[in-house]
Structure 1
Amino acid sequence: MRSTSMSLEPGFRGVICASFGDTGDTAGRDTGDRPKYDLHFTSANPESLAELRSALERSCVGARLVLAGPAIDVHAASAAAQECGMVDEEITLLPDENSPWVVFCGHCHVGTTTTGVHGSVEVPCQGCGIVLATTDHFSRRLGGYLGYAAHAEEA
């Protein structure tokens, strides 16, 4: 699902505002006198990320990106934007802090979706089943937090 306030012309230098799910709304975001291009997706699935990449490919240096919604979607879209050549200074992240987030297993490299307070949650890995302790180390490339064997010292 997509909604736009204007058509995106090649060479666009304004602000691309992408929101995800029910919580991500950038419609009221003030962009000053810069043109604004609104996108809304239900989630950061392959189709929506392809559409975001397409919009970024039509934009020029100087374009900015605002991402809002569940943390999983916001970080996946940010990783896609960085693959397109955008840098951190061009991207504003507005994740819903109460939404689920991803823990990546350092053993099997599978992402496990969870909720709770970062750094204080233990979750079973959806890949290898090992109980993971979470860290505050966030991978922008993977869009999630690093997990490690919670009880490795007891093995």
Structure 2
Amino acid sequence: MTDRHCAAPDRLHSLPCYRQPLPRESATRHIVVMQSAAACSPIVGTLEQPLVLNGENADFARRLHQVLVNATVGSHLYIMGDEAFIWRIHGEARSAGLENAEIDITRTLAGSRRVYCVHCGLTQTAGPESLLSCIGCDVGLEVREHFSQRLGAYLGVCSNPDQPCSGVRP
């Protein structure tokens, strides 16, 4: 999944640190879930008969759900895309019963990430900017360098406690 040993001493331990996935020789079924064809990692070509699901396909959500709930012991899931995509799919996989050891996540695309507002509890998709307005409560949020794997999101806290409901204006 993420490499816990790659963190620099000044880096928060909660921040995800991504690495290229390794083929799991012991896996009896390789399931590859990618956000788009552009998110594909070279590892896919080394896997024996992988089941590949592309997020751009019209029936992606239905097929993903079906594959995850029917995954058996010995299956290994490889998720590739931007942070918002991989952590959403990771959450779905965990809810379906897969263990962290059965999942590799690789950020292969720059793009959106998820931010959790501590004020209203909404998790929203956002870009890389460090300031944004919560779409749920309009509080101006500062995105902290704290990541919750359980939520699959960065922590967003009020950027101006003197005016908590003012939002962030460009």
TM-score (norm 2): 0.69
Tell me the residue number matched to 1:150. Answer: 159
Secondary structure in 2 aligned to 1:126? coil
Tell me the residue number matched to 1:86. Answer: 98
Map 1:49-64; keep pairs closer than 5 Å. Answer: 49-64=61-76
Q: Which structure has the highest strand share of the two?
A: 1
> Could you tell me how far apart the structure 2 residues matched to 1:97 and 1:24 are?
6
Secondary structure in 2 aligned to 1:123? strand
CA-CA distance at 1:122 after TM superposition: 1.3
Change (3 A) 1:98 1:50: same
Contact 1:14 1:64 survives alignment (8 Å): yes
Tell me the residue number matched to 2:142. Answer: 133
CA-CA distance at 1:26 after TM superposition: 4.5
Tell me the residue number matched to 2:51. Answer: 37
Tell me the residue number matched to 2:166. Answer: none
Tell me the residue number matched to 1:115. Answer: 127
Change (3 A) 1:96 1:36: closer
Secondary structure in 2 aligned to 1:51? helix
CA-CA distance at 1:146 after TM superposition: 1.3
Amino acid in the other structure paired with 1:136: E
Secondary structure in 1 aligned to 2:38? coil
> Gaps (5+ residues) in structure 2?
1-26, 164-170
> Could you tell me how far apart the structure 2 residues matched to 1:91 and 1:74 are?
11
Number of positions where the alignment pairs a residue of Structure 1 with one of Structure 2: 136
Tell me the residue number matched to 1:9. Answer: none
Tell me the residue number matched to 1:68. Answer: 80
> Could you tell me how far apart the structure 2 residues matched to 1:107 and 1:96 are?
31
Which segment drifts farther, 57-66 or 93-102?
93-102
Q: Does 1:19 align with 2:34?
A: yes
CA-CA distance at 1:127 after TM superposition: 1.0
TM-score (norm 1): 0.75
Contact 2:116 2:156 survives alignment (8 Å): yes
Which segment drifts farther, 106-115 or 123-132?
106-115
